[in-house]
A and B are shown apart, each in its own frame.
Chain A
Amino acid sequence: MITLMHYTVLSALLFSIGIFGVITRKNAITILMSLELIFNAVNINMVAFSKFVAPSAAQGELFALFIIAVAAAESVLALAIILAIYRRRRVVNADEMRLMRN
């Protein structure tokens, strides 16, 4: 029998994998992909809690849908910024983007 525990443990593990990626990777696109993993970990939690705590209401699932929409908007803008920086400075690594630092 799969319980709420299973889903939350899965979500916690996926979340920590995402955090590992955000900290270790240098490439801005990979950092963005790790962020997508973190969003998905949160969404698994949302849907699982919605199903186990209040199965007759759908608020948790609606929250997951809104998170997906906002994450899509966020990743579109982030990829546009990465592409603009790449065109101008030929740089995709986050630690080489130091225009504001002297």
Chain B
Amino acid sequence: MAESILFYGFAAMILIAGLMVVISRNLFHAALWLALSLFGVAGIYVLLSSYFVAGIQVLIYIGAVVVLTIFVINMTREITGDMNAPRKTAVVPALLASALTAALIISAMLKTDWASRMSRAPASGADNTELIGRLLLTDFVVPFEAVSMLLLAALIGAVVIVSKDTGEKE
């Protein structure tokens, strides 16, 4: 019962905040709604008892990505106004495309026979952070290292891309 209340609360939070991200004309408000939506997703992870992913979601997405987005929004000047209005001619095709996508995914979900694929054991509430840590340093050590190289490359790339312009001006 408590699970249902929490799930529907988080789901409503995610969807309403996501909708506000998409339709809000003020970029700064959109970024704050995005933070709320991502927080709801973290709540869904807690509900699925994957606490490590929930913590990473809050740290990386809300703590890093949204804050970085707000920095960039503040550095560009067209935060609000008609410049940010949605493209009028694109609204109907976009509604059609997104509704069809949702209908396709949901109908595919309804037609699939999940009962035979489900695990027999019910999802336990146990914390599996230890298992994730062990897998990251045994079976998944190569992708783990590859991701660290990717993050380093992104860091250096971002510095080079942004600093190039000022260097030429001076």
Contacts and interface: CB of A to CB of B under 8 A. Distances in A.
What DSSP secondary structure best describes chain B's contact surface?
helix
A32 to B, nearest CB: 7
A97 interface: no
A61 B147 CA distance: 15
Interface residues of B, number: 85
Interface string B15-53: 100110110000100110010011001001101111011
The CB with the most chain B CB atoms within 10 A, among A16, A66, A72, A73, is that of A16
A62 to B, nearest CB: 6
Interface of B: 3-4, 7, 11, 14-15, 18-19, 21-22, 27, 30-31, 34, 37-38, 41, 44-45, 47-50, 52-53, 56-57, 60-61, 64-65, 68-69, 72-73, 75-76, 78, 83-87, 90-91, 93-95, 97-99, 101-102, 105-106, 109-110, 114, 117-119, 121-124, 128, 131-132, 135-136, 140, 143, 147, 150-151, 153-155, 157-158, 161-162, 164-166
Given A10-B11, A23-B90, A73-B150, 14 more contacts: A2-B7, A12-B106, A24-B87, A26-B83, A29-B73, A61-B132, A62-B132, A62-B135, A68-B61, A72-B151, A72-B154, A76-B155, A80-B161, A87-B165
